[in-house]
């Protein structure tokens, strides 16, 4: 587990992603990514998209009949989610929030966290995983995707405020709490700028009834 000191992480990471989201909106780069495509078939009922980004998965889930709450720290992202939901005539509640302190309320049939937890100190990342567990209904689904140890692309991180878990740690966490693993992909490598790599784990788990 690679951990750095807390604080300021959200300022650098939010600025990084807000700029990226602006470029993507301008270029209409709005297709589901590989992790979102994997998650979508598992989503139904009431869905929380935690760290929704541009909300491509949120809108796709709403088009399938899900009731979606999409939450992100980026104002660009949330504005886009609202605009896209209106354009597609689907109901997505989009909320801008500081996810370093935001608390999940209510229960959900599925909670999705793709590319979020590593932007917080490890203690907060684990708090969020535990909150996700608590707020998924029995029989419901959690989708967790994180960068893990081995990642060398760190431009979006504040040097003193991120957490890279060991590959396999998320699956181990959910198995240890009695969840059924529906899908687990470990240490998937993707090329990143300047010869670096992003290394991801993705776990889709169902809560025991």
**In which element (H, E) is residue 95 found?**
strand 92-96
Helix, coil or strand: residue 53: coil
| pLDDT computed for residue 155 by the predictor | 74
Question: Is 73's pLDDT higher than 70?
Answer: yes
pLDDT tens string 17-64: 556 655 665 556 567 999 999 999 999 999 999 999 999 999 999 999
pLDDT tens string 75-87: 888 999 999 999 9
CA 141 to CA 95: how far, in whole Å? 21
Confidence of residue 162 (pLDDT cuts 50, 70, 90): confident
CA 110 to CA 42: how far, in whole Å? 8
Confidence of residue 6 (pLDDT cuts 50, 70, 90): very low
């Amino acid at each position: 587990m690679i951990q750095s000191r807390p604080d300021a992480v959200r300022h650098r990471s939010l600025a990084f992603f807000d700029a990226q989201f602006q470029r993507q909106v301008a270029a209409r780069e709005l297709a589901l990514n590989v992790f979102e495509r994997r998650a979508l078939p598992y989503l139904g009922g009431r869905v929380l998209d935690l760290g929704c980004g541009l909300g491509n998965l949120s809108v796709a889930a709403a088009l399938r009949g899900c009731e979606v709450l999409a939450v992100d720290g980026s104002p660009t992202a949330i504005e886009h989610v609202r605009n896209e939901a209106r354009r597609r005539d689907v109901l997505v509640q989009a909320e801008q929030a500081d996810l370093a302190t935001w608390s999940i309320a209510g229960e959900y049939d599925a909670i999705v966290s793709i590319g979020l937890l590593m932007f917080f100190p490890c203690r907060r990342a684990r708090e969020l995983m535990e909150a996700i567990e608590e707020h998924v209904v029995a029989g419901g689904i959690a989708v967790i995707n994180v960068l893990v140890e081995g990642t060398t692309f760190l431009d979006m991180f504040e040097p003193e405020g991120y957490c890279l878990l060991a590959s396999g740690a998320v699956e181990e966490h959910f198995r240890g709490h009695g969840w059924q693993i529906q899908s687990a992909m470990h240490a998937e490598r993707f090329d990143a700028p300047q010869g670096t790599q992003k290394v991801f784990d993705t776990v889709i788990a169902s809560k025991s009834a």
